[in-house]
């Protein structure tokens, strides 16, 4: 996930761009967007090297200030009107969801949401050093709150409320307790009122017809570095352990999907243990999900 979030950060900065011949290539590094991103990245890196608390936040605010000064972002006020929920609240088509042809769609969404959430929670827990012998403590509560958020978001008519990889930014700044979550929730709530001000941080900047986000891109690149440091815990001397990890690491950013990375990793891990005659070392659920992942690909691309 560290590589994924870094790739997103590089794309949003304008430092790299899509290329039909080589997948990606160097972007226009002389553009205002790329230069601002590089400035922010170097500033955050400098502050982190000096062990300054809040380095990422300082970098974001500094980039915002520069963007305002050079006219990349327009000041649109501080306080705005709270939007109405009347057009989306409880606008559900329950009968439509119960149709037979919708079952496969529901299953796919369940499948993707489940493994995206599990992958995100494990990755974030690893970054925060919360994992105990590879197990996620209080996983039931974490998954329940995630599921409750998904259902609540649906009722309100908003996009999925779930565990986001962006939480790694808070962890990188030292967040470890539920207080950070409550503060984040409160900030989301007041953002309804201060939306014009907050919107400036994520205002897209056009570069050769593509949207870039130079104010927040440097923070994503730095957080990717934080998360990638966990690969040192992989047993690289054991091929059946390290190769599935490598497959997972490389698949997630190249497919832009945590689920696909987990799928490829599970299948590869189970296969290697099988051919080595060590299938008993594979937990039952890993074997079961490996089979389900394999069947998914067989029927998905038939």
DSSP notation for 31-86? SHHHHHHHHHHHHHHHHHHTT-TTHHHHHHHHHHHHHHHTTSS----S--PPPP-T
CA-CA distance, 243 to 212, in Å (whole number)? 34
Dihedral sign for Cα atoms in the order 194, 44, 208, 74: positive
Whole-structure pTM value: 0.71
Q: Give me the torsion for CA of 60, 62, 68, 70, rounded to 10°.
A: -120
Confidence label for 39 from pLDDT (cuts 50, 70 and 90): very high
Confidence label for 138 from pLDDT (cuts 50, 70 and 90): confident
Dihedral sign for Cα atoms in the order 17, 217, 80, 167: positive
pLDDT at 302: 56
Average pLDDT over residues 23-30: 84
What pLDDT digit, counting tens, does each position of 106-121 carry?
Answer: 776 777 777 778 777 8
List residues bridging with 24 in a β-sheet.
18
Average pLDDT over residues 202-212: 80
Q: How long, in residues, is the chain?
A: 302
Answer whether 224's CB lies under 8 Å from 6's CB: yes
Answer whether 165's CB lies under 8 Å from 172's CB: no
Axis crossing angle, helix 239-255 with helix 258-275, rounded to the nearest 10: 160
The secondary structure element, H or E, covering residue 206 is strand 205-207
Is the pLDDT at 274 greater than 80? The verdict is yes
What DSSP designation does 279 have?
G
- Whole-number mean pLDDT of the chain? 82
Angle at 164 (CA atoms; ends 163, 169), nearest 5 degrees: 125
């Amino acid at each position: 996930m560290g590589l994924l979030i870094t790739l997103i950060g590089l794309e949003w900065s304008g430092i790299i761009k899509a290329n039909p011949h080589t997948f990606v290539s160097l972007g226009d590094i002389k553009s205002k967007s790329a230069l601002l991103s590089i400035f922010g990245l170097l500033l955050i890196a400098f502050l982190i090297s000096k062990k300054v608390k809040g380095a990422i936040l300082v970098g974001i605010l500094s980039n915002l200030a520069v963007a305002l000064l050079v006219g990349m972002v327009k000041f649109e006020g501080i306080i705005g009107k709270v939007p109405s929920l009347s057009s989306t609240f409880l606008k559900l088509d329950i009968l439509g969801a119960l149709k037979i042809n919708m079952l496969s769609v529901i299953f796919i969404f369940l499948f993707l949401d489940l493994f995206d959430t599990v992958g995100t929670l494990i990755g974030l827990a690893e970054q925060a050093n919360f994992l105990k012998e590879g197990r996620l403590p209080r996983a039931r509560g974490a998954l329940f709150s995630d599921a409750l958020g998904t259902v609540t978001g649906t009722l309100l008519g908003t996009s999925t409320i779930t565990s986001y990889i962006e939480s790694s930014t808070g962890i990188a700044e030292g967040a470890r307790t539920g207080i950070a979550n409550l503060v984040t929730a409160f900030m989301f709530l007041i953002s309804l009122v201060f939306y014009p001000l907050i919107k400036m941080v994520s205002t897209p900047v056009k570069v050769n017809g593509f949207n870039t986000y130079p104010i927040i891109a440097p923070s994503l690149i730095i957080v990717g570095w934080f998360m990638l440091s966990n690969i040192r815990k992989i047993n690289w001397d054991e091929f059946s352990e390290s190769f599935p990890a490598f497959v997972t690491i490389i698949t997630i950013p190249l497919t832009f999907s945590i689920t696909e990375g987990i799928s490829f990793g599970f299948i590869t891990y189970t296969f290697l243990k099988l051919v080595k005659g060590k299938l008993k070392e594979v937990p039952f659920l890993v074997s079961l999900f490996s089979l389900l992942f394999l069947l998914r690909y067989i029927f998905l691309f038939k």
